[in-house]
Every structure is written in C-alpha cells, then in structure tokens.
A = this chain, B = another copy of it.
C-alpha cells in the first residue's frame, strides 16, 4: 500500500474567495483541492471572526511544507479583512506521489 503521512489543509471562507483561494493553493504547491458548499453559524455574540451565512469548505491534501506555506499565506493575507478559518489535520494517504 505504501501509505504516507501528509497534511489536509481545510479553509472555510466566504464563497466570493473561492477562485482566489484555489489559485493560491495551487501557487503554493497543492496539486488539487475539493470544495463543498456549506453554511456557518456564528456565536450569538456576533464575533467578527465567525463565518455566518453561506460559506465554502476547501480541502487539499499536501506535503507538510506546503501546508505551512498555505497557513502562513492565509494568516498574512486574509485574517485581517475576511472571516476565514484555516486548519491542518494529519492524514495517511495511499499513493502519496499524486500530492506533488
């Protein structure tokens, strides 16, 4: 099977950011990503950092150094002005070579 440990980066953001974020993921080293439409429910205190309303969940499986670049990129370019969540999960994949 040759399973390998990689990282899954997940970004939950407003739909208007989809094409920009997909382009950024590719530019930073992701070979592909998968997107699901969802909706957010913020706290009743209406923190500016929640993502209420319609959103998208972008998921990419990448090497650890690519995950680090993506996290640094979204922190630097999106967190100030956008209600965006980004997190990284350890995953084990089969056929690691396809992830770049």
Contact = CB atoms under 8 A, between A and B. Distances in A.
Interface of A: 1, 3, 6, 8, 12, 22, 26, 30-45, 47, 49-52, 55, 57, 61, 68, 71-72, 74-75, 79, 85-95, 98, 100
A75 B49 CA distance: 29
Q: How many copies does the complex hold?
A: 3
B47 A75 contact: no
B90 A90 contact: yes
A86 B95 CA distance: 9
**CB-CB nearest 8 A-B residue pairs:** A49-B98, A32-B50, A36-B38, A87-B91, A75-B94, A87-B93, A88-B92, A31-B43
Contact of A35 (B35, B39, B85, B91): B39
B40 A34 contact: yes
Contacts of A74: 94
A1 B26 CA distance: 20
A50 B74 CA distance: 23
A22 B41 CA distance: 7
